Amino acid sequence: MPPTRLDISAIHVKAHVVPTGVDSRGDFSVPPSVDTVGWYKYGPGLTASSGSIVIGGHVDSATEGVGAFFHLTDLRPGNRISLSSRGTTRWFRVVAREQIPKANIDLGRYFSAGGALRLTLFTCGGSFDRAHRSYTDNIVVTAVPAR
């Protein structure tokens, strides 16, 4: 089941979730609007029992300003996240937050359909490279099912 809503009260996020895939370069595609986040539709969905449910969103935009994931770096272990769709809600608890140079990130680790169920949130971070019009790093938050 595709998730349609992401709520993270610790950083005041209430975002609509839309299915996404990959862009023409083979990179994870996030929705163009900074207020909407994307669920990687080729991976596990809301009712999955294993693997990484991946959600990506913008940190900001030169034209739209602050994005849904602008404060992702403020999340701490123990913060709760809800992911929902059509009356079904799953709760997750943050266990890790990393800042990883884009050139060094092992995406297979985060986009895996195997292993224990987890929620993986992605956004950009680090320094802004004006020449490439991109941030140098990724911010990755990992959360596990909460009871």
**Could you tell me what percent of the chain has a pLDDT over 70?**
100
Model confidence at 108, in pLDDT bands (50, 70, 90)?
Answer: confident
For 90-112, what is the mean pLDDT? 90
What pLDDT sits at residue 70?
Answer: 95
- The torsion of the CA quartet 38, 110, 28, 19, rounded to 10 degrees, works out to -30
For 102-120, what is the mean pLDDT? 89
- What confidence tens digit (pLDDT) does each residue in 31-82 have? 989 999 999 999 999 999 999 999 999 999 889 999 999 999 999 999 999 9
Q: Rounded CA gap, 48 and 28, in Å?
A: 20
SS3 108: helix
Tokens of 16: 């609509």
> Residues 143, 94: contact at Cβ < 8 Å?
yes
pTM more than 0.85: yes
**Could you tell me what percent of the chain has a pLDDT over 90?**
73
Domain boundaries, the chain: 5-145
Higher-confidence residue: 13 or 127?
Answer: 13
Beta-strand pair 134-145/52-56? unpaired
Q: Rounded CA gap, 79 and 68, in Å?
A: 16
How many residues can be counted in the chain?
A: 147
pLDDT averaged over every residue in the chain = 92
Scored b (16 or more CB within 10 A) or e, 43-78 reads bbbbeeeebbbbbbbbbbeeeeeebbbbbbeebeee
pLDDT exceeds 90 at position 28: no
CATH class of 5-145: mainly beta
pLDDT exceeds 90 at position 133: no
What pLDDT sits at residue 34?
Answer: 92
